[in-house]
Amino acid sequence: MKKINFENLSWNWTRIALLILASLCLSVGFGLLLNYKNGLITSLGFVILIIMLSKRFWYKNHVEYNKLGIVIKLNLITDRTIKFNEIDKININDNKLIVKLNSERKFEFQIKDIDSSDINKLLRILIENSKSIFTDNRTEKLLLPIE
């Protein structure tokens, strides 16, 4: 079974520290702080930013979320961005997770080979943060209790 990499973007202190370090490297490297230009320090700042922003390309199954929305990439090359306040219905069966929006648009994700605990965690994130209707059509009810 494949695992999903989850990343909560709300107040992630390591992410904030890396952003501050990258901005300091860029400011010093461009000569804005110490009036000393250095291309190596500037490059270090850009490398830190590239590593932080490229995480969603490292994993085949990746989910980023905060209190406003979620970015889901499951068995796809591209990802789907969904705002929680636009979600109307969530439907799951044995092979697919279907998220229907208020605008009659829908997103389908293949979940056949994904670990059931990760599917339940993704469902918990979607249900807790949106005011949506949830329907579970799986043959085996694998929903974990909300802790």
Q: Inform me whether the pLDDT recorded for 66 exceeds 80.
A: yes
Residue 56 near residue 64 (C-beta atoms within 8 A): yes
Model confidence at 138: pLDDT above 90: no
- pLDDT, residue 89, reads 95
Domain boundaries defined on the chain: 10-57, 62-136
Average pLDDT, the chain: 89
- Concatenate the DSSP letters of all residues of 51-102 into one string: HHHTHHHH-SSEEEE-SSEEEEESSSSS-EEEEGGGEEEEEE-SSEEEEEET
Of residues 78 and 144, more confidently modeled:
78
- Residue 21: DSSP 8-state: H
**How far apart are alpha carbons 90 and 74 in whole angstroms?**
16
pLDDT at 145 over 60: no
User: What is the pLDDT at residue 144?
Assistant: 53
pTM score, whole prediction = 0.80
Q: pLDDT-derived band of residue 1, with 50, 70 and 90 as boundaries?
A: confident
Position 94 confidence tier, pLDDT thresholds 50, 70, 90: confident
Three-state DSSP class for 127?
helix
Burial (CB < 10 A; 0-12, 13-18, 19+), residue 18, is middle
In sequence order, what are the residues at sequence separation of 6 or more whose Cβ sits closer than 8 angstroms to the Cβ of residue 91? 97, 98, 100, 134, 135, 137
The per-residue pLDDT for range 10-39, each reduced to its tens digit, is 878 888 899 999 999 999 988 887 777 888
> Residue 142: is its pLDDT beyond 60?
no
Per-residue pLDDT tens for 103-130?
Answer: 999 999 999 899 999 999 999 999 999 9
Helix axes 13-29, 39-53, angle to 10 degrees: 150
Classify domain 62-136 by CATH number: 2.30.29.30
